[in-house]
Amino acid sequence: MSAAFTVRLDETTLGALDKLAATTERSRNWLVAKAVEDYIALNAWHIGKIEAGIAAADRGDFASDDELARVRKKFAATE
């Protein structure tokens, strides 16, 4: 089931949406619905990762000094 609602966009954004719709041969509605779906999925994933990190911290599950040193060495800038 789907429901309709109104969204207000500034003229620049609406113009860009119309251009994208024409280029991709998709409707405004399809593009906006897909953007909202993707935004919700991304933010749900992000919040899940944050909550998992907080839970790990609450358990005291931190990297050891050796693990941290290994990661720092791996990503240290080489001269």
pLDDT tens for each residue of 6-52:
999 999 999 999 999 999 999 999 999 999 999 999 999 999 999 99
Global pTM reads: 0.73
- Residue 41 and residue 64: Cα distance in Å, rounded? 32
The answer to whether position 4 is within a domain reads no
Q: Give how many domains the chain has, as a whole number.
A: 1
Mean pLDDT, residues 57-76 taken together: 92
Measured CA to CA, the distance from residue 12 to residue 59 in angstroms comes to 48
- Whether residue 33 is contained in a domain is answered as yes
> Is residue 18 included in any domain, yes or no?
yes
Task: Give a yes or no: residue 38 inside a domain.
Answer: yes
* pLDDT for res 13: 98
- State which residues form the domain around 59: 11-75
Q: What pLDDT does 7 receive?
A: 93
pLDDT of residue 79 exceeding 60, the answer is no
* Residue 67 belongs to a domain: yes
Closest CA to 29 of 57, 3, 62: 3
Residues 6+ apart with CB under 8 A from 49: none
- Has residue 6 been placed in a domain? no
